[in-house]
Amino acid sequence: MPIRAKILLKRGDFTLDVNVDIPDRGVTVFYGHSGAGKTSLLRCIAGLEIANNAQVIFKGETWQDDNRFLPVHKRPLGYIFQEASLFEHLTAQQNLDYALKRADKNKPVFNYQHAVELLGIGSLLQRYPAQLSGGERQRIAIARALLVNPQVLLMDEPLASLDEARKQEILPYLEKIKRDLHIPILYVSHSPDEVARLADHLLALKDGKVVADGPIGDLLSRLDFPIKLGEEAGVVLDAHISEKNSQWHLSKITIAGGELWFRDNGLPIGEQVRVRILARDISLALEKPTDSSIVNCLCVEVVACEADDHPALQLVKLKVSDSVLLARVTSLSAEKLGILPGKKIWALIKSVAIVQ
């Protein structure tokens, strides 16, 4: 049963006006630029922000409507704030105990040992928050949110206050949680990288309104995706590792309709992965090049072609079997190659990133 959120929130000039059903499984990313209303929407769902007019129904239970407002502390949710929000007067261990003591005892989603191991915080537990790095604090805060036994996990840009190195430190933990946790996760982000790595479902917001809503694969491959991604435009595909070549240290991944070689990163054969291919990393050619350094060439069909942000560039939507790719080429090349819907063409893929 989806999570219903119908929210009207007015704060000065800003109006958040949203009416959505959020899937009850997987990670739904609230995506948009800052000021789009992502965090406000999350806070309204949690009950931290009281909307002027709202209907929030979680698994058939009304959290808020015209006659009812379930206080935050009675909602079965876990919440992770943007900046580490540990209680400064308690050690890491006591912070976790705080959650355990008040947790919903009926249905543990995560036991204590599992949470501690998953987030690698065993050695940090005796320290006070002031003695922990930003990344360490955020890991404790995530563990604490899990230990309260939530039925839904709300994360408000948990990486935004961290530097790039710390982000890369935390992201794998988030991916593990996504894999191990069978409750829906609502995740606020303005980072295309985080979207690519974590999202199953995307809810794009702009100026307080939902401008796109759907599975990640479908949305990112849209040429008219309403929020400009610029250099980050690209697709996310589900794939699995199908072969290894030890001589050249390469792994082969199979996507629907093709195979791609990429640098071996130690994942075993059969592993399900998610790959991200950016539009700027795909070139197009009429013939299969035989004298190029590019390893990955796929024969694809042009689906559509549209002007990109800059008049010199075109964004081309390509299809091979069920997989959709986006390529960015210059308008000049598009003209020269005669790129039109239906045309068979070769896609030269310079780079593939395994994101999961």
Partner 1 sequence: MGIYSDADLQAIWLSLKLASLVTLLLMFIGTPIAWWLARSRSRWKAIISALVALPLVLPPSVLGFYLLVAMGSNGPIGELTNALGIGTLAFSFPGLVVGSVIYSLPFVVQPIQNAIEGLGKRPLEVAATLRATPWDTFFSVVLPLAKPGFITAAILGFAHTVGEFGVVLMIGGNIPGETQVVSVQIYEHVEAIEYQQAHALSATMLVFSFVVLTFLYSFNKHARGSSMWGAQK
Give least dist CB 147 to partner 1, A: 9
Q: How many CA within 13 A on the CB side of residue 33? A: 7
Backbone φ, ψ for residue 342 (5° rounding): 95, -15
Report the chain's terminal Cα–Cα distance, integer Å: 27
Give least dist CB 198 to partner 1, A: 20
Give least dist CB 249 to partner 1, A: 46
CA distances from 51 to 21, 121, 192 (A): 17, 37, 28
Give least dist CB 314 to partner 1, A: 46
- Alpha helices, DSSP H only, in 184-238? 192-198, 216-220
Give least dist CB 77 to partner 1, A: 7
Q: Which residue, 80 or 316, has its beta carbon nearer to partner 1? A: 80
CB burial of residue 66 (10 Å; 0-12, 13-18, 19+): exposed
Q: Which residues contact 146 (CB under 8 A, 6 or more apart)?
A: 78, 109, 110, 115, 153, 177, 181
Q: Which residue, 129 or 192, has its beta carbon nearer to partner 1? A: 129
Q: Which residue, 70 or 303, has its beta carbon nearer to partner 1? A: 70
Alpha-carbon Rg for the chain in angstroms? 22
Binding site for partner 1 (CB under 8 A): 46, 48, 71-74, 77-79, 81, 83, 85, 87-89, 98-99, 102-104, 129-130, 144-145, 148
Give least dist CB 160 to partner 1, A: 15
d(C-alpha 24, C-alpha 196), whole Å: 19
Give least dist CB 238 to partner 1, A: 33
Q: Which residue, 80 or 300, has its beta carbon nearer to partner 1? A: 80
Q: Which residue, 95 or 251, has its beta carbon nearer to partner 1? A: 95
Q: Which residues contact 338 (CB under 8 A, 6 or more apart)?
A: none
From the list 2, 177, 148, 3, the residue with the least C-alpha distance to 76 is 148
- Residue 95 gets which letter from DSSP? H
Give least dist CB 183 to partner 1, A: 15
Q: Which residue, 149 or 189, has its beta carbon nearer to partner 1? A: 149
Q: Which residue, 43 or 328, has its beta carbon nearer to partner 1? A: 43
Q: Which residue, 76 or 234, has its beta carbon nearer to partner 1? A: 76
Backbone φ, ψ for residue 160 (5° rounding): -65, -30
- With beta carbons less than 8 A apart as the criterion, state whether 314 and 308 touch: yes
